[in-house]
A and B are shown apart, each in its own frame.
Chain A
Amino acid sequence: MMVDSDLKNPIWRNLVLNKVQVNLNCLAAKILISRWQLALRNDSSEKQIEKAILELFELYTKDQNFPNVKKDLALLLKN
């Protein structure tokens, strides 16, 4: 179960800044991450990065009961 403190996990920042490659299952997340990776290449202000992280976190929180999302969370939050 996702909790608010999971938002602080550095994995979200690493994903939107393309610092880590994870073999994700959730199609929406893949597309949202790529959208933000492109956008942050033009504007990598902290404000934008935090917006990206929050959107991604909220997507995973909202759908955390879906099988593909559960698989992704097991990969992303294992550390």
Chain B
Amino acid sequence: MKKSFYQVDEVIKMIQQGKNLLLSGDEDLLSKLPDGNWIGGTTPYFMTEQGGEISRDFIMVDEIPDSAEEVLCKSYDISNIQNVYKDGFEKGFSIIIIPSASKVHLSFALNANEYEGFATKPLIGWISGLLLDDLNVNTAKTFLKSGNSESDSNAVVMHVKLPSSQYAEISIQNIFKQGNGDVIEFPETTFHVNEAIINGKIKNFAEYVKEMNLDLRLPLVADYSGCMINISFQSIDEDKKVVNFYAPVFKGAIYKQAAPIEDYVRQFEQLIQNEDNNHIAFSCNCILNFLYSELEGKKTGNITGPITFGEIAYVLLNQTMVSLEIKNLE
């Protein structure tokens, strides 16, 4: 299996060799890196060749294939994030990293489907995070081409041009399916839900969650033309009777809570075992999967990558693995 976890000195050498790199790791390590063709995001959680790991000592590296004809690294703030699709190469793909809880994170989550060129070019990526114990004392960061570029507000994107003989394909590996429970809709698009429409009747959603004793590890799932999209529970504010999510629920979408999972690791292995993983250029998996399924020390097949505070496959996702493959056109 390809090695992906490196010491800082090794990554410095790769950057100095002119490689185009996607990096994930601790803020202190990423800030030591020299200028070059790289973007990075913070996380201390990883799926390595040895299994799930928490580390502040290594950097995870994904290298853009040598076949890439052109690479453009750019940062986006709240004023221009809507151009992320428009700016991509016609033939290629883009990889985005967004700091968790930033305004760009929230804006992308709510508005990506309105961006010019939405879904017309492959866009994959992740939400950068930090050690859960540090959530109240630090912020997630991104880095653009330099260890001096850290930002907790800007998204960073690597736009990659591929030769006409290749194409990029994004896939979502989601072990969750809609369960057989109530049909749930929402009167507005929001991260913070007050009312829901349960089987056609309006109810306070926090009260509904409590009455039904819902397992909050199981996300709400919407069926997007056969693609299952999760919305993960974050917290319930009992005083305000508001349910908070890690991604927005959308007005008009039909949700059901996910069916329970008996053995997460086994489910994942079954999901990916029949796929040809030799062309995977990048993959990431959700921190909630890491925690709820106790992935530390366990493997998800032979797929490695950062463990993230949200995934992006055209839109913001929760509790999924996403993968980018570079394939040859026949």
Contact = CB atoms under 8 A, between A and B. Distances in A.
Interface string A17-53: 0000101100111111111011101100000000000
A64 to B, nearest CB: 11
Contact of A27 (B90, B250, B251, B313): B313
Contacts of A31: 119, 224-225, 227, 313-315
A34 B227 CA distance: 9
A28 B122 CA distance: 8
Contacts of B90: 62
Interface residues of B, number: 24
B65 to A, nearest CB: 17
B309 to A, nearest CB: 21
A58 B121 CA distance: 11
Nearest to A35: B113
B226 interface: yes
Contacts of B167: 63, 65-66
Interface residues of A, number: 27
Interface string B217-233: 00000001111000000
Nearest to B330: A67
Interface of B: 90, 113, 118-120, 122, 167, 169-172, 224-227, 250-253, 313-315, 327, 329
12 contacts: A30-B227, A31-B224, A31-B227, A32-B119, A32-B120, A38-B251, A42-B251, A55-B120, A59-B120, A63-B167, A66-B167, A68-B169
Interface of A: 15, 21, 23-24, 27-35, 37-39, 41-42, 55, 58-59, 62-63, 65-68
